Chain A
Amino acid sequence: ETGVTQTPRHLVMGMTNKKSLKCEQHLGHNAMYWYKQSAKKPLELMFVYSLEERVENNSVPSRFSPECPNSSHLFLHLHTLQPEDSALYLCASSHLAGAYEQYFGPGTRLTVT
């Protein structure tokens, strides 16, 4: 138990669906991250929020839309995804963005059909 929770743990969605992934951290941190882990590729950053402001957007397609309503919650809104978007989506948090230890949630395994 890392103090970072994610829901749902598994999600199957069609290409025309809209769904949201949720992340919550109970560590009192001020930075939160979305990472994507695809088969046979290294984990790659999608978004960084620090003090509820987006500080990094790593050339992610607009069909992924993040939202950070407060420092404890982070959402990833999904719409009109493609099958190649199937992956493990990991949320992380740290005290602040930058040179601080990051803690990861258990991930949401997404399958797009």
Chain B
Amino acid sequence: GIQVEQSPPDLILQEGANSTLRCNFSDSVNNLQWFHQNPWGQLINLFYIPSGTKQNGRLSATTVATERYSLLYISSSQTTDSGVYFCAVLQTGANNLFFGTGTRLTVIP
């Protein structure tokens, strides 16, 4: 199956700082999603972004499918941004998402 690698695995930020999370994948994809998993386990959809750039408030994402990576930008981080961020990809021809191992973000006041 496709390999999905996320970096960094852990990130600690001061409130107000900016950060970039990276997702590399090993094969062509026709779907890429970013999720935030809250402490209770709920996966919250952040972006559906198989290619291009999208922005939603303080968050934005860019996927360069030809180079097999995606970036998630978090600006002016808040304590409520803490949690685990997952990148998940749908390999061309597959039915299910393959998840990375996540980036655990901790924002301290």
Chain A residues in the interface with B (C-beta under 8 A) = 2, 31, 33, 37, 42-45, 48, 50, 55-56, 58, 88, 90, 97-104, 106-107, 109
User: Is B79 located at the chain interface by the 8 A CB criterion?
Assistant: no
Contact A98 to B95, CB < 8 A, known contacts A42-B101, A43-B86: yes
Cβ–Cβ contact A42 & B97, under 8 A: no
Q: A106 contacts which of B30, B40, B95, B102 (Cβ < 8 Å)?
A: B40
User: Is B90 located at the chain interface by the 8 A CB criterion?
Assistant: yes
A99 to B43, CA, bound (A): 18
Contact A98 to B97, CB < 8 A, known contacts A2-B45, A104-B42, A107-B42: no
Chain B residues with a Cβ closer than 8 Å to the other chain, count: 25
Chain A residues near B41 (CB-CB < 8 A): 37, 88, 90, 106-107, 109
- B19-47 CB contacts (< 8 Å) to partner A: 30-31, 33, 35, 40-45
User: Is B99 located at the chain interface by the 8 A CB criterion?
Assistant: yes
Cβ–Cβ contact B43 & A56, under 8 A: no
Cβ–Cβ contact A104 & B43, under 8 A: yes
Among B31, B43, B102, find the residue whose CB has the most chain A CB atoms closer than 10 A.
B43
CB-CB nearest in chain A for B4: A42
Subset of 27 A-B contacts with CB under 8 Å: A2-B42, A2-B44, A2-B45, A31-B95, A42-B4, A42-B101, A42-B102, A43-B97, A43-B99, A44-B99, A48-B96, A50-B95, A56-B96, A90-B43, A97-B95, A98-B95, A99-B30, A99-B31, A99-B50, A99-B90, A101-B45, A101-B48, A102-B33, A104-B35, A104-B42, A104-B43, A106-B40
